A = this chain, B = another copy of it.
């Protein structure tokens, strides 16, 4: 799937692996992300399959850049993927919920500590989506004006991140209260 994230961004403009990581972090980071090592490996396999090409740009004082460009075959592959609807909803795994599910034996205090820690994390995350993410969209449009209309959908999914975090915070607050009041001893 990372394949399509990379082809998607390369359909806007040519980029290096390092730059792709940046675009991913600021725009899809909310629901899709990858480590640099995986990005480099995936770009290599995309090139082997003729979906992108690359050339090296020498630089002074810093490492050479390998810039990737999408090919016609790459565009065709991307558009075929975009045109194929997703027919089922995926279950998202959540390690915190799994741990909490079995946590009754650890006791009330340990559970409350864990819940409060995550309340804090998600509050920070929500703030980030509200501020940084919107700025990041602006920056992207300034760098590549052709994608102006694409940002309509970008903002739809950015709103998802906001709603998701707000819901998670809500759930944590409700759960903290429930545990405080009704945890069975």
- Residues of chain A whose beta carbon lies under 8 Å from any beta carbon of chain B: 1, 4-5, 8, 11, 27-33, 78-79, 81-83, 85-106, 110-111, 113-114, 117-118, 121-122, 125, 149-150, 152-154, 156-157, 159-160, 163-164, 166-167, 170-171, 174-175, 178-179, 182-184
In the complex, what residue of chain B is closest to A172 when comparing beta carbons?
A: B160
In contact, B87 and A117 (Cβ under 8 angstroms): yes
Instruction: Kindly state the separation between the CA atoms of A114 and B171 in the bound complex, as whole angstroms.
Output: 28
Contact (Cβ within 8 A) A30 B91: yes
Q: Knowing A89-B121, A92-B92, A106-B83 touch, does A153 contact B1 (C-beta < 8 A)? A: no
A174–B159 contact, CB under 8 A? yes
The contact sample of 9 A-B pairs, CB cut-off 8 A, is A31-B91, A31-B94, A78-B102, A79-B105, A83-B110, A86-B118, A90-B94, A90-B95, A152-B184
Distance (Å) between the CB of A49 and the closest chain B CB? 19
Contact of A178 among B79, B81, B156, B164 (CB under 8 A): B156
Closest residue on chain B to residue A124 by CB atoms: B89
Q: Which of B33, B86, B88, B184 contacts A91 (CB 8 A)?
A: B33
A104 touches B31 (CB 8 A): no
Give the oligomeric copy count. Answer: 2
CB-CB under 8 A for A95 and B1, given A79-B105, A100-B157, A171-B159: yes
Determine the chain B residues whose CB is within 8 A of the CB of A78 once the complex forms.
102
Given A97-B160, A163-B171, verify A149-B104 contact (CB < 8 Å).
yes
Given contacts A113-B85, A179-B156, contact A101 B167 (CB under 8 A): no
